[in-house]
Amino acid sequence: MNPVPRPALGCVGQPRLLAGLDTAPRLDRAGHLAVHGQVPAYHVDELVELTEYIDLRGRGGAGFPFARKLRAVTRSARAREGGRTAVVVNGSEGEPSCLKDTALLLHVPHLVLDGALLAAGALGAEDVVVGVTRQDVEQSVRAAVAERGPAGRRVRVTLLPERFVTGEGTAMVRGLDGGPTLPSGQKVRTSERGLGGVPTLLSNTETYAQLAVAARLGGAEYRAVGLPAEPGTLLLTVGGATVVEVPTGTSLPYVLDLCGSGPGQGVLVGGYHGRWLEPGAARSAALSRQSLSGFDAVLGAGAVLPLPEDTCPAGEVARVTRWMADESAGQCGPCVRGLPSLADAVENLVGGGGRAALEGVQARMRAVRGRGACSHPDGTSAFVASALAVFPEEFRDHALGSGCGRRVLGALPLPADENPERLVVDWTLCKGHGLCVDLLPDVVRLDADGFPAQGVMPVPGRLRPKALRAVRRCPALALRIQE
């Protein structure tokens, strides 16, 4: 099994969520209390007032006001006989460009549990469930629950399948209830009917951690950092590898520079359902809802992905589009047929499909918009549309057959194939024709003499058809696929 990535950590200014990690790699219960102290109890009305005053919003992508969620759960519970409620921590990060919630659950899990238990106490919720998708994260959270002794017994930790759609609210709830971890397609809010059919407060990991910080600091001190209209700090995953805590309003180019990068050819903000910023926009953008809205972008789940100068933008977009199509829930036509067709159209364009290929991509995007049981088709279509708008010359040149001449370096992170097939060279037959590198430039490298630089090369699943073509077309019959 391939090792799962563990993020590097950084901060701008004084950390809040990541406080204490300069002296310890993980804060156990004692270390957590030494850094943060006990969290006070709040009545539900007080908690609503606090979260409304600091404008706490969901940090999982949608940015929904947390106070409105609290009110909705309270209202639904009062309308039901018995008034039962539940609290769910969405610890799923099905997108490989996001690691901020993973960082919290691996390094400061007690901060997240504090926020969830604080909300549960205010709502009178009996069930607190943490849904995760990584085994190391599950182990960290279970250890934190055990460290709390009897107080942790009301918390349940559940390992769910690692998929892009696992984090969708209804998919998360269905999975935690023992069903398929797939979107229900029904327009029912979890605040009305969620875990076990009861009103459920569902929010992501960072949101609960921010709640725990705010409860300790109080509204006025929490608002002392960040922008007046968007107070506090936020977590970002930069380049799919580094998690940084920054005050809201921090300059985007400053954060990129801190992480050893720059805008490059452009910056994808908000992850694979996000938007591309061209380099000029990235240099003037700040990390706030107001600033990014001016570029038709949102922070989403906090992923910031600069595209280096030495990779092919069109090829990078094509490989992510294919992965997004493969991550379909498989329940409705726009996902089952529409997204694979969109990925085919993008690959056809990048492969030199001519002017008609551009029209084909546009047609496929129109075919999936607004028709899915969840937001996955819309988000994937928006990702492609944004790329076409920011890299128009790149896609035009590829469609017309000239291309950019750069390799696809995998700058946009995707999960590695656990058991990739391999392209194997028979050195007794190879004559150095070089046709293999023409068909598989992302797999085969040639040495100074024009022969493959390696005798065994892993083949990503998405490139298997091209690898088979290379095997068939090798004039010397020197290639084979090995599982």
Residues 324 and 249 in one domain: no
Domain-terminating residue out of 335, 369, 399? 399
Task: Check: CB of residue 324 under 8 Å from CB of residue 380.
Answer: yes
Domain count, the chain: 4
CATH number at 283 reads 3.10.20.600
Backbone angles phi, psi at 268, to 5 degrees: -90, 120
Give the span between the Cα atoms of 183 and 166, in whole angstroms.
8
Give the span between the Cα atoms of 437 and 238, in whole angstroms.
32
What is the predicted pLDDT for the residue at 193? 92
**Strand, coil or helix: 275:** strand
Rounded (10°) CA dihedral 360, 385, 58, 304: 120
Residues 100 and 210 in one domain: yes
For residue 73, what are the contacts with CB-CB under 8 A and spacing of at least 6?
85, 123, 191, 199, 200, 201
CATH number at 215 reads 3.40.50.11540
Identify whether 268 is part of a domain: yes
CB atoms within 10 A of CB 90: 28
In 340-440, at which residue ranges do the beta strands (DSSP E only) sit?
A: 421-425
Residues 272 and 374 in one domain: no
User: Which amino acid belongs to residue 474?
Assistant: C
For residue 201, what are the contacts with CB-CB under 8 A and spacing of at least 6?
69, 70, 73, 85, 86, 87, 88, 119, 123, 125, 190, 191
Identify whether 108 is part of a domain: yes
CATH number at 470 reads 3.30.70.20
Task: Check: CB of residue 325 under 8 Å from CB of residue 336.
Answer: no
Identify whether 404 is part of a domain: no
Residue 80 buriedness (CB in 10 A; 0-12 / 13-18 / 19+): middle
Residues 36 and 111 in one domain: yes
Return the closest-CA partner of residue 287 out of 323, 324, 237.
237
What is the predicted pLDDT for the residue at 2? 45
Give the span between the Cα atoms of 357 and 399, in whole angstroms.
7
Residues 211 and 100 in one domain: yes
Convert the pLDDT of each residue in 385-412 to its tens digit.
999 999 999 999 999 988 888 988 899 9
Domain-terminating residue out of 337, 367, 399? 399
What is the predicted pLDDT for the residue at 1? 39
Residues 51 and 153 in one domain: yes
Identify whether 408 is part of a domain: no
Convert the pLDDT of each residue in 51-84 to its tens digit.
999 999 988 777 899 999 999 999 999 888 778 9
Pairing of strands 127-132, 86-91: parallel
Residues 93 and 161 in one domain: yes
CATH number at 346 reads 1.20.1440.230
Q: What is the pLDDT along the chain (483 residues), one digit of tens a residue?
A: 345 678 899 999 999 999 999 999 999 999 999 999 999 999 999 999 999 999 999 887 778 999 999 999 999 998 887 789 999 999 998 888 899 999 999 999 999 999 999 999 999 998 899 999 999 999 999 999 999 999 888 999 999 998 888 888 899 999 999 998 888 877 778 999 999 999 999 999 999 999 999 999 999 999 999 999 999 999 999 999 999 999 999 999 999 999 999 999 999 999 999 999 999 999 999 999 999 999 999 998 899 999 999 999 999 999 999 999 888 777 777 778 889 899 999 999 998 999 899 999 999 999 988 887 788 899 999 999 999 999 999 999 999 988 888 988 899 999 876 556 889 999 999 999 999 988 888 788 888 888 998 888 888 776 777 888 899 999 999 999 987
User: Which amino acid belongs to residue 136?
Assistant: D
Residues 253 and 138 in one domain: no
Residues 317 and 303 in one domain: no
Identify whether 8 is part of a domain: no
CB atoms within 10 A of CB 194: 26
Domain-terminating residue out of 349, 364, 399? 399
Residues 188 and 269 in one domain: no
Give the span between the Cα atoms of 429 and 57, in whole angstroms.
62
Give the span between the Cα atoms of 253 and 343, in whole angstroms.
31
User: Which amino acid belongs to residue 259?
Assistant: C
Give the predicted TM-score (pTM) of the model.
Answer: 0.86
Backbone angles phi, psi at 451, to 5 degrees: -100, 160
Residues 249 and 176 in one domain: no
User: Which amino acid belongs to residue 188?
Assistant: V
Give the structural domain span for 205: 17-222
**Strand, coil or helix: 464:** helix
Give the span between the Cα atoms of 341 and 350, in whole angstroms.
14
Residues 478 and 443 in one domain: yes
What is the predicted pLDDT for the residue at 273? 92
